[in-house]
Amino acid sequence: MVSFFPLAPPLITALMGAAVGSFLNVVTWRLPRQESILWPSSHCPRCGTTLAWWDNVPVLSWLLLRGRCRYCKAPISSRYPLVESACALLWLITLLAQPAAMGPAPDPLLLMLAGWTLVSWMIPLVLIDLDSLWLPEPLCRWGLVTGLVVTALLGFQQVRRSVVRCCFPICWRRRWGSWGSSSAAPWPPAPSANRPSDWAMPSWPP
């Protein structure tokens, strides 16, 4: 008899991904219309009736209702279950993926959470862009910030090289000259007996 426990993580992940996909459908619908994504509760866009929780079960509710509102019988787009299924599938792929090439021994849990965050962030961006050729500025801004923070926490070697590459000129100027001063040392300063090679420019990429 096959044990249930090896199947529990993928099953739970798929259910969580479908639930997140249901919320992403709300984000995709409301954000371009300048509506709150948290309030009011989910409702039919035609008759305005607030939907009960059993009408919001990802994929299953759409199938049981045959793609129509329970109250006004208005058709419900098939994109709703497709987005929920796609999000569940992408979450599952992220769980099972083993990205060995992404960096030296990253934290597996943090890497998985980063993948789920990336997938969940990209879905509404893609859908909104397809619908209106517009990318919401809050999603882009906070997506950039979140991506930088998560990537830094993962400690990829590429990030450390980028930080060194950005900070190296500042450290050089502070040691050999002052910003905006006419007496500042030239960039790069010529080697001398006092500093033959201690500040030699490294080669990038290494």
170 strand-pairing partners? none
Q: Which residue has the higher pLDDT, 165 or 12?
A: 12
pLDDT tens digits, residue range 163-177? 666 665 555 555 555
Give which of 128, 113, 129, 177 is closest to 188, Cα–Cα: 177
Q: What is the mean pLDDT of residues 105-134?
A: 87
pLDDT tens digits, residue range 53-94? 899 999 999 999 999 999 999 999 999 999 999 999 999 999
- What is the average pLDDT score of the chain? 78
Q: Which residue has the higher pLDDT, 109 or 99?
A: 109
11-15, 31-35, 153-157: range with highest mean pLDDT: 11-15
Structure tokens at 17: 């991904």
What percent of the chain stands above pLDDT 90?
38
pLDDT the model gives residue 82: 96
Whether cis (ω within 30° of 0) applies to the bond prior to 205 is yes
Look at 43-47, 65-69, 156-160 and tell me which has the smallest mean pLDDT: 156-160
Q: Is the pLDDT of residue 2 over 50?
A: no
pLDDT the model gives residue 46: 87
SS3 194: coil
pLDDT the model gives residue 79: 94
The single-letter DSSP state of residue 134 is -
| Phi, psi for 50 (deg, rounded to 5) | -65, 135
pLDDT the model gives residue 147: 84
Q: Where are the beta strands (DSSP E) in the chain?
A: none
Q: Is the pLDDT of residue 130 over 50?
A: yes
